[in-house]
Structure 1
């Protein structure tokens, strides 16, 4: 068995891996046990009692985090010329259409979110094999396929994120940075959990919110008591 480093021993002494913490306790603890030398991202992993293979148990949606993600989200707006200025004014990092479609065909995906219009979706279909695996394909349910391009870009920049349950029944999402106050991390995580609770599929039976974990880029996971949220 590998020996623990000095830092790992210090971290291990600060919390109990077997304990269920309240969301407030976990939000403060995740700051205390992070050992990174950079502003690490804080992630949440929520295991749901659903079967993602069944269409009536798929959980997918969007949530606006009250304090944003703390990450500079790079947005590409694939729009027609009449919508370009609207996208630029809203803060889109890249704006255009055919030239960016060609770049994506060539393998370029250096963005976090793509916002587009219904009329453009036909051109994006052939790029599904590139955008899909990277989670970049725009989706009406996520609010990234819309005629209100400016609002969509502004929402994403302000901390609106989309989420979906993966094939193992877990929802992964960013809820802030280690530099955030513990209260802000808690607020963001609570907003996501509350949104997930409202989206419980009627077909899902038994315990819905099975487990919740908070972690940072360089920390162990802290288990949150679902009943405390």
Structure 2
């Protein structure tokens, strides 16, 4: 029996998909916002961000998103954005108190760190922790002989940059409409650095509710 070959979207197919989504009926405000700039022009980052802010249609403080058409798929890398607030995660080191909570079915943490000495105590609970991705393992650094040091490292908010499953397209929040433009520029530059400029075919910025603005990427 032949192994099925996974289908990968080409750049043309990705562009067509985006075009089809964009072709849906837009509001008058959206259409008016798009008329404020040249939709075919590539703008420098700071100018593009200002346009995104100007064309944001939400009454709330919307997010600013970066949509990148690259060349690689899967996990691209990790970033510590210099100016991006992320939801904090509860990280704990396995001890008798945490073990008792797990036994009682109370899993009140996002990341669990264990040592090679304490790890065997978790094996009876593999069916509970495993499906939730909470079992410590050396691959992600949560099974370690230096738990305190690992706790400090993991407490720094990292963002995993990854593409869509079937296309080399990345969608990443890089700031908010109310944020300083220079801070958003710094965040985007970190994203570009991880993805690698030479591998970026297209970079578009937009607000949560607003049209997309194409950006220049210095190779």
Kindly indicate whether residue 217 of structure 2 is the aligned counterpart of residue 218 of structure 1. no
Match of residue 49 from structure 1: 71
TM-score after normalising by structure 1: 0.64
Q: What displacement does 1:3 show?
A: 6.5
TM-aligned CA distance change 1:2 to 1:149, over 3 Å: closer
Match of residue 191 from structure 1: 190
Aligned counterparts of 1:25 and 1:139: Cα–Cα separation in 2: 44
Q: What displacement does 1:185 show?
A: 0.8
Kindly indicate whether residue 199 of structure 2 is the aligned counterpart of residue 208 of structure 1. yes
Of 20, 27, 38, the match for 1:16: 38
Aligned counterparts of 2:106 and 2:212: Cα–Cα separation in 1: 38
Match of residue 117 from structure 1: 113
RMSD across aligned positions (CA): 3.6
Aligned counterparts of 1:138 and 1:41: Cα–Cα separation in 2: 33
Q: What displacement does 1:34 show?
A: 0.7
Deviations 1:16-62 (CA, angstroms, capped at 9, x unpaired): 22221121211211111111111111121222113x3xxxxx54321
Contact 1:75 1:153 in 2 (8 A): no
Match of residue 19 from structure 2: none
Match of residue 161 from structure 1: 159
SS in 2 for 1:7: helix
Of 84, 89, 94, the match for 1:75: 89
Deviations 1:74-99 (CA, angstroms, capped at 9, x unpaired): 313243138x9xxxxxxxxxxx5664
TM-aligned CA distance change 1:173 to 1:7, over 3 Å: same
Contact 2:114 2:142 in 1 (8 A): no
| Unaligned segments of structure 2, at least 5 residues | 1-22
TM-aligned CA distance change 1:5 to 1:60, over 3 Å: closer
SS in 2 for 1:61: strand
Higher Rg of the two aligned structures: 2
Aligned counterparts of 1:166 and 1:128: Cα–Cα separation in 2: 24
Aligned counterparts of 1:124 and 1:184: Cα–Cα separation in 2: 42
Q: What displacement does 1:226 show?
A: 2.1
| Number of residue pairs the alignment of both structures matches | 186
Q: What displacement does 1:154 show?
A: 3.4
Contact 1:42 1:176 in 2 (8 A): yes
TM-score after normalising by structure 2: 0.66
Q: What displacement does 1:172 show?
A: 2.2
Q: What displacement does 1:190 show?
A: 0.7
TM-aligned CA distance change 1:212 to 1:25, over 3 Å: same
Of 9, 28, 34, the match for 2:50: 28
Aligned counterparts of 2:193 and 2:36: Cα–Cα separation in 1: 28
